[in-house]
């Protein structure tokens, strides 16, 4: 599969879709433009329920980055498990810390949380292979978000190879088309991860950096703009203009000065 990303300077990254959303309006605006691409991370069931029917209606292509270890299971996303099993519901600071430690330490921290909790097991319905194939037949590229969604900059070489070889097997076995298109979980990346991606023949890798792409971006460092299904139209247009990403660092710096 080949994209011409030189035409797609604005690549939007979504996650979940509630039943009542602004996505319909986003799509109406996007349907007249050739410079925008829709991508969605994690493969939440709400994409199938609330976004896919609209994408089909407007005939707009999209990329869905899935986590193969969860497909056809009732296993939740690991960060949702973190909040569920934590005392006092956890917090974002601790979640960010968890994303910054070696992968095996993150896994054992989560395992301990689960074992120490007396709550009922948390279950979440995930997408099925049949749903993935149905979407693939209707213009959604089913793409690679790693096997278990670790922070790849916290993985060892062996862990990275395992993530990719299991994902490759899954894509081959199920005849899914987008293995070579990858989104870095959480946007984290480093040189080692990039070299392993190349080794596995990954052609495109997407960041999560809230930036617009320049002409001819590095295909393994493609920028994306962060939006969500409830982003109001005024803000959505502002983000698409590229000005939001230019001003955001200034707004953040301003906050630091004021606080
Ligand atoms: Zn993700």
Helices and strands in the chain: count of H runs, count of E runs:
11, 7
* CB contact set of 10 (below 8 Å; sequence gap of 6+): 35, 36, 37, 212, 213, 225, 240, 242
Percentage of the chain exceeding pLDDT 70: 95
Cα of 246 vs centre of ligand 1, distance in Å, is 24
Task: Assess whether 196 and 93 both reside in one domain.
Answer: no
pLDDT digits (tens, 9 = 90+) for 142-152: 999 999 999 99
Cα radius of gyration rounded to whole Å, the chain: 18
Task: Assess whether 112 and 215 both reside in one domain.
Answer: no
Cα of 257 vs centre of ligand 1, distance in Å, is 32
How are strands ordered across the β-sheet holding 140-144? 204-206, 178-183, 140-144, 62-66, 36-42, 10-14, 225-226
Q: How many domains does the chain have?
A: 2
For residue 85, being part of any structural domain is answered with yes
For residue 4, being part of any structural domain is answered with no
For residue 156, being part of any structural domain is answered with yes
Cα of 119 vs centre of ligand 1, distance in Å, is 25
Q: Average the pLDDT over 77-81 and give the result.
A: 97
pLDDT digits (tens, 9 = 90+) for 169-188: 999 999 999 999 999 999 99
Q: Can you give the CATH number for the domain in which 217 is found? A: 3.20.20.370
Tally of CB atoms within 10 A around 251? 9
pLDDT at 256: 63
Cα of 209 vs centre of ligand 1, distance in Å, is 13
Last residue of a domain, one of 89, 123, 157: 123
Cα of 42 vs centre of ligand 1, distance in Å, is 5
Cα of 112 vs centre of ligand 1, distance in Å, is 23
pLDDT digits (tens, 9 = 90+) for 233-258: 999 999 998 888 888 777 777 666 65
Q: Is 183 exposed, middle or buried (0-12, 13-18, 19+ CB in 10 A)?
A: buried
- pLDDT(117) > 80: yes
Cα of 185 vs centre of ligand 1, distance in Å, is 4
Find out whether 111 and 78 touch, Cβ atoms under 8 Å: no
For residue 167, being part of any structural domain is answered with yes
- For residue 113, the enclosing domain spans 77-123
């Amino acid at each position: 599969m080949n994209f011409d990303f030189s035409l797609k300077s604005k690549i939007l990254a979504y996650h979940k879709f509630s039943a009542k959303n602004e996505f319909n309006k986003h799509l109406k605006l996007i349907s007249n433009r050739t410079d925008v691409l829709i991508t969605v991370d994690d493969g939440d069931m709400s994409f199938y329920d609330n976004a896919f029917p609209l994408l089909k209606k407007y005939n707009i292509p999209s990329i869905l980055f899935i986590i193969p270890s969860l497909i056809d299971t009732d296993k939740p996303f690991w960060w949702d498990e973190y909040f569920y099993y934590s005392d006092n519901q956890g917090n974002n600071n601790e979640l960010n810390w968890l994303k910054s430690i070696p992968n095996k330490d993150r896994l054992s921290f989560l395992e301990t949380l689960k074992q120490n909790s007396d709550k009922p097991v948390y279950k979440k319905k995930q997408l099925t292979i049949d749903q993935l194939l149905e979407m693939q037949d209707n213009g959604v590229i089913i793409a690679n978000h790693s096997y278990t969604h670790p922070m790849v900059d916290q993985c060892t070489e062996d862990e990275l190879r395992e993530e990719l070889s299991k994902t490759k097997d899954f894509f081959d076995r199920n005849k899914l088309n987008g293995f070579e298109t990858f989104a870095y979980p959480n946007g984290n990346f480093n040189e080692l991860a990039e070299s392993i991606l190349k080794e596995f023949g990954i052609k495109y890798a997407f960041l999560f950096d809230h930036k617009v792409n320049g002409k001819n971006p590095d295909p393994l460092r493609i920028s994306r703009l962060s939006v969500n299904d409830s982003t109001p139209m005024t803000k959505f247009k502002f983000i698409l203009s590229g000005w939001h990403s230019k001003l955001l660092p200034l707004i953040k710096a301003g906050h630091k000065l004021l606080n």
